[in-house]
Structure 1
Amino acid sequence: MTQINADFSARAVSHAGEAPWVAAPAPGVERRMLDRMGGEVARATSLVRFAPGSAFPSHIHKGGEEFLVLEGVFQDEQGDFPAGSYVRNPPLSSHAPSAPEGATLFVKLWQFDAEDRASVRINTNRCERENAAGRQDVSVIPLHRDAREEVRIEVWKPGAQVSIEKHEGLEILVLEGGFHEGDELFARHSWLRLPPSQDLRAMAGLEGTRVWIKLGHLSVAPTGPSA
């Protein structure tokens, strides 16, 4: 049983380049583990890097899979997913993924409601941004919302001061640019998870930032697939 940032009542951070890449069972595939509960089958949040020509054999995602393509082009039976693609494959879905030219993904496994059967496929590069209510320095690309959680991309203008309070769990991955939380810098591919007891107070860097955000998903204590 691997436990990485498995105390979901505590703040968790991984800065780009600090976590080691760990070889996955499939040749040419590596993972940078951000949080994890379980063995090879696990509730997990990871960066996954596919070398050119690498692939996973066909498999079933019993607990669902959510991913955002960060670099390159990811492929499966549903087609090609270039950088900026956001995908939710619900529980019991299956695929045989590959990356002929290489790709890097942000991936979350075993974090769906067991009855969820909704598939989501969005090219975020083609989405129009909405102004966030009451935050003129912030625009939003909605990705997914249900009774359990909300997922979106936010674009913060340079120097924007952003507060998110009274949430039920918050998770951020930096896609472009960076921001400060207190004295700590979050640069590209840095990751932050905050429990419901901790508000976010951040300031975008001089170039602004683009971030993936998930809210509300820690209202119930997370468990691994074997629990």
Structure 2
Amino acid sequence: MPSNALTPTNLHMDLSVKVVIDSQAQPWIASAQPEVRRKPLARQGREGGHATSIVQYRAGASFPAHNHPGGEEIFVLEGTFSDENGDYPAGTYLRNPPNTRHAPFSKDGCLLFVKLHQFQPDDLTPLVLNTHQQSWRQGYGNLEVMPLHQCGTENVALVKWPAGEVFQPHTHFGGEEILVLSGIFRDEHGSYPTGTWIRSPHLSSHTPFVDLDTVIWVKTGHL
């Protein structure tokens, strides 16, 4: 059951510090809407500021129409997310730019990865992308990459790792953020199962690898 505790403020907002959270192990926290609950990963302020969360809509849940002054970025993990503009099944990547407005709901329930108030100032293009209808491109080694978005130094993509793949040692200029969508992502610092969120700061380094087939959502250059 979700906790009745208030969503914490100023959670993991030091962007110079690496953060690793197994979201599967985190408790649910109630939101302002009874049928919507969330697992905060990073947050500034109680509501309306910088936030990264796992959000669950139960069947029939809805939110009143509202603005996103700092923009909203969503990856649908499970189920179907909807608003007055359409239905977005699992695997859909959405970007609602600053000052857009909608009234979201889910008829049968859904699970989302949500980032609020984190758009670049000149990033004003809305986007709806069903990743199940997109093509993979050849990446480094045996990796497959599906680019999702690019603005300035910020890049967002899905990356598919075949079992046994090892990536070259590298440094993250502008930082890196990962959500493990399936499998187990690994590096010399640890193992990160499905549902793990990793935020690595500017100029951090590692040598990632996998033992099992693994897919990650990844954003670079934005920290």
TM range (shorter): over 0.9
Among 182, 187, 206, the residue aligned to 2:188: 182
Among 134, 145, 149, the residue aligned to 1:140: 145
Q: 2:80–2:108: 8 Å Cα contact kept in structure 1?
A: yes
1:32-51 map, 5 Å? 32-51=39-58
Give the TM-score, by structure 2 length: 0.92
Asked if 1:106 corresponds to 2:117, the answer is: no
Between 1:13-22 and 1:188-197, the stretch displaced more is 13-22
1:76-95 map, 5 Å? 76-95=83-102
Q: Where has structure 1 moved over 4 Å in runs of 4 or more?
A: none
How many residues align structurally?
215
Asked if 1:216 corresponds to 2:221, the answer is: yes
Secondary structure at the counterpart of residue 214 of structure 1: strand
1:97-150 C-alpha deviation (Å, 9 max, x unpaired): 001100000000000134432001100011110011xx2221100000011410
Among 67, 72, 82, the residue aligned to 1:60: 67
Among 185, 195, 199, the residue aligned to 1:193: 199
Report how far residue 162 of structure 1 moved.
2.2
Asked if 1:171 corresponds to 2:177, the answer is: yes
CA RMSD, 1 decimal = 1.3
Asked if 1:6 corresponds to 2:13, the answer is: yes
Q: Sequence identity, in percent? A: 39
Give the TM-score, by structure 1 length: 0.91
Asked if 1:120 corresponds to 2:127, the answer is: yes
In the alignment, what sits opposite 2:5? none
Query: In the aligned structure 2, how far is the partner of 1:58 from the partner of 1:16?
Result: 28
Q: 1:156–1:204: 8 Å Cα contact kept in structure 2?
A: yes
1:43-95 C-alpha deviation (Å, 9 max, x unpaired): 00000001111011100000000000000000001100000000000000010
Query: In the aligned structure 2, how far is the partner of 1:53 from the partner of 1:3?
Result: 31
